[in-house]
Amino acid sequence: MQVSRREFVRLAAAASAAAIVPAARPRPAGAAAQSAPDPWQTATEILARVKAPVFPAREFPITQFGAKPDGATSSREAIRSAIAACRRAGGGRVVIPQGRFLTGAVHLESGVNLHLADGATLAFDRDPRAYLPVVFTRFEGTELMNYSPFIYAFEAENIAITGRGTLDGQADAQHWWDWTRRHAADRTRLVDMGANGVAVADRVFGDGHFIRPNFIQPYRSRNVLIEGVTVVNSPMWELHPCLCTNVTIRDVTIRSHGPNNDGCDPESCKDVLIERCSFDTGDDCIAIKSGRNNDGRRVNVPVENIVIRDCEMKDGHGGVTVGSEISGGARYIFAENCRMDSPQLDRALRFKNNAVRGGLVEHVYMRDVTVGEVAGAIVDADFFYEEGEAGTFLPVLRDVEVRNVRSRKSRTALRLRGYARSPVTDIRVVDCVFDGVAEPDVLEGVRDIVLTNVRVNGEIRNARISR
């Protein structure tokens, strides 16, 4: 169904206003208490709920709608027509066949699987006008009307991006990434709008402004699958499911080294599986988020029930990161059987927050992770990120367990920096081996940090630390 821009803004803003009422936050079904011996039972329950959508056996090749594989002629309208035909038929696959196809914004609809065949490349136009009109979106945790993400869905159900093809954002130092030198005034204005409660419908950016779009963003959608594709050269965050439920991200390869090029950012989502993915990024490989400052507290939806397994992290600021836009809170995060290794990977498990953003982060578990080399700490928690302690929304981090993590080289094993008035609490490190550690741990504003059978540079440590 096509609606006018005015009507779209009205509907989106109304939906956002409805989200102000906080939803009840029960523990995941059947979740064990914090003192239970095996918190990973909760991960098993999450995995039992996460189901990839299934699509009818119908195919809609975009070449049948006029698309040309020359890499120069825009296929945007052909893709739009194929998606509309697929929806009208009751769902199926919109197929990008072998070849290089140029497009602008692609908007998925319910029941549509955008499938990239072997040898297919969907290249995204470098002209920002190809991502207009503006849509309801989030930028770094604040809602606004902005350029469309390259692939976008709004309040859709049963959607997918699959196949062995490539999604090429065509971003580089002269296209999109250069906006980091021009966006300061827009970012400040947007954050101020969020702080002052300006209606989202009135936070209109897009043409004439320099707020970069994300690459792939399903927004308020259910039953989402992203599988098999390779994503390169993104303007900023690559995979950004936001306010979604039941999300599967599997066998995806991310290679993009621009500024703010996070690999995968599930934000205010519930029941998410990220598995067998490869991340080589210019920022955090996986960054788990839930909104920024007052705007995150207004929407007030945590990110919860995330399982990460069998992934590979190469370059990046953090392998698995929680924050910094985490004002809505985060809980029940599980990461296992991952491999992390690069002198350009800064940390393995990272938490970043401050007293302006705030948020409760709890029940985070990592096990059976192999780290070749990181430039900084294996476990890093920093409450002084950016704005620091000069705020009234104290961050809380508690109940984190790191078990059977082995690393070959790092600057430190632990770097934990909380506040005296709000310490980092209940961090347990069990059966870990950290070799090649160059410097002592940094422990400031912590309480109940427990090391059990931890070997650092060959020395066994068993300790309970509060300072």
Output the CA torsion sign for 151, 317, 277, 302: negative
Among 317, 341, 346, 382, the active-site one is 317
Active site residue 175: no
Instruction: Tell me if residue 450 falls in helix, strand or coil.
Output: strand
Burial profile 122-140: b = 16 or more Cβ within 10 angstroms, e = fewer: bbbbeebebbbebbbbbbb
CB 41, CB 32: distance < 8 Å: yes
Output helix, strand, coil percentages for the chain, rounded to the nearest 5: 15, 45, 40
CA end-to-end distance (rounded Å), the chain:
59
Partner residues linked to 167 by β-bridges: 122, 231
* Angle, CA 51 vertex, CA 49 and CA 54 arms, to 5°: 155
Partner residues linked to 382 by β-bridges: 352, 417
CB 316, CB 345: distance < 8 Å: yes
CB 301, CB 290: distance < 8 Å: yes
Contacts of 181 (CB under 8 A, 6+ apart): none
Among 125, 168, 280, 283, the active-site one is 283
C-alpha span between 259 and 233 (Å, rounded) = 11
For residue 199, give both structure tokens: 């209606």
Active site residue 317: yes
Active site residues: 283, 317
